[in-house]
Structure 1
Amino acid sequence: MDTEPIKVTTPKTKNFSFVDSIRCISMIGIVLEHCGVVPPNHYSRQFENIVESSIIQSFKFSTIAFFLIGGFLINHKFNEYTPFQYLKNRFKKTIKPWLFWIFMLIMLSVLDRYIAHSRGSEMGLIGSNFFLYFVETFTRIVLISPYWFILNFLICITILLLFKKHLYNLWFGLVLALFSLFYSVNIYQDWIATTHTTAIFGFVFYLWLGVYFNEYYDKIMNIIKATSWFIILLLALVTFWIAVGESTFLNSIGIKDAYNTLRFSNIIYSLVMFALLLKVGSLNWLQRNLRPRETTFGIYLIHVIIIDRGLPLIFQPLKLNFLELSIWQNTGILLIRFLVTYALSFFLARAIGKTKVKWMVGN
């Protein structure tokens, strides 16, 4: 009788730890962008505008990278759950906390008006028609504020679910890419308003691309690994300056939305940066200290309130006129605002995530 133990080999699981690193870096870029203090193309000297464009462009890949990672993560879930089950889970993890923080922002705005009223200011619409105030404020927050991208993300997911049977067809991806390119051309032609709200179909392609990347992960990663560091860094640098050049040109011809995420040059830059981050791989020190899997969504939800209601309490007493400051002074203020916003959002997200109300940050 053969008593030698039989060795059972289990399939090797893929290591997707790079996902958390990219998710964390992308959120840092998103928060940084929202901490700006002056309107675009404010400075009179061309050199200052180029510096401003360079600062903004540095992390302008963040939104597209976030959609790519989102698509990468939902690919297997599309196969595990029915569309109804998936959307039900999404409500619990995404929509519920999203609505909570929107209502929180509205209530803080109401409290601010009452405090101002106690000091002699007019109550305005709150006093005459609170319901109308609530509806108008809710609509404005959902459509204009950074909270819009949560709704946009869910709409993109729903579109992919509706066309689930075509998910891995290249022609389907091509159609979605054409929608995105429409917005790239529209920046110049102004057929429709160039606000992010109108770009409702502009980001579906990047979510789909993330799904496609997951499906063909091994082949794509082999290409990235085979590409030399010199080539990929050179491409990142070249596409960065092309994107800066396009935004500078758009500013020079009076385009108000010169830093639009869906600029063609920024799309290419974002894809190159995503490839670069894939080549870098997992940043264990970043994941260990910033806990992106636990805190990323919470940071996104909380940072809007910190910027809208918290930062004015810090900066208004200083009575700084940002419009009169130099590009270097405003850059320093931007970094301070970012550090305060990110730190507060991070610690609040972590603290809430350890309580019984952790659902408020999607945990």
Structure 2
Amino acid sequence: MGCRNSKVLPEPPGDVQLDLVKKVDTIQPPQTDIYQHFIRGDEKAAGAGGGDKIGGASPLLALAVGPTALVQAPKEANEQSDPQRKKVARVRHTNIIQLMEVFETAERVYMVMELATGGELFDRIIARGSFTERDATRVLQMVLDGVKYLHTLGITHRDLKPENLLYYHPGADSKIIITDFGLANSRKKGDECLMKTTCGTPEYIAPEILVRKPYTNAVDMWALGVISYILLSGTMPFEDDNRMRLYRQILKGKYSFTGEPWPSVSNLAKDFVERILTVDPAQRLTAGQALKHPWVVSMAASSSMKNLQRCISQNLLKRASSRCHSTKSSNSIRSSRSTKSNKARRMREKELRELNRRYQQQYNG
């Protein structure tokens, strides 16, 4: 769900100035002692650890990342070809993917982490036969609990979206885990808590980032508001193929509760979304406050709710189909341009061959 172009720098609206940072191809050195963990964008190889465990932990996934400047380790003459085991700071929470170990060689950094096999959040919703507000609050409780933990440690995820919320295993009782910390920022105790880097995935970027204001971890809550909206309807609160129009929607906080299944969604659920999708970050609910919202508290204990799965699935599939068609159309346009370009190139080559033939005739004559 949402844009698949993770870790993008947004194109600024014409009437808004942004302080963009240059996108780089390699992983930058860590700014904190937790590394830029769980990076997926530069993966070169991946292998599953099967049933292997470390210290009684769950199945592991090893990623080979490179080239990189993530860790600068001293290389002894007799150790240049040996992996260097690195000490890693632990972020331990049941709803956050666990980085177990980091190993470095001359050209690769290997990150050993938990293996999540349950698939993405919305793939599961489409596949199941029932999804109610109670189910939505259970999902959000797990995500909010993980985000609250991160924020307590001074960590801001900065790229929360459905693709980064995975089920731990295929079973019906699987927990949700937060993954992909490639844009995460950590502030040590005493550091200034404000961030300035413009980053994220377009549909989930908070307004304060777009207007290049120094921002706090409240940007994660805005993204959770977008996720909550999608979770309850299968549609996006802010969406436009034109980035400028999309950003203007976000800056205005312009969204609505129209269309199916919103008439069947409770007012408490809508109030929850409204209190998070608030343009003013100071008025936005924190993760702790969101966990205490009446909708989350009451619906989590409810047993009888209207099934929203059919409408949500239809909307999700409709959007996926629309985006697929848009991609095909774009590819078709590029293909058409490419065909025209190739035809023009062949014409130029033919003309050059003809000119060369005439020159040879003249010269030989």
TM over 0.5: no
Answer 1 or 2: which has greater strand percent: 2
Q: TM-score range by the shorter chain?
A: under 0.3
User: Taking CA–CA contacts closer than 8 Å with sequence separation of 6 or more, which of the two structures ends up with the larger relative contact order?
Assistant: 1
Q: Given the two structures, how large is their TM-score scaled by the length of structure 1?
A: 0.26
More helix by share: 1
Larger Rg belongs to: 2
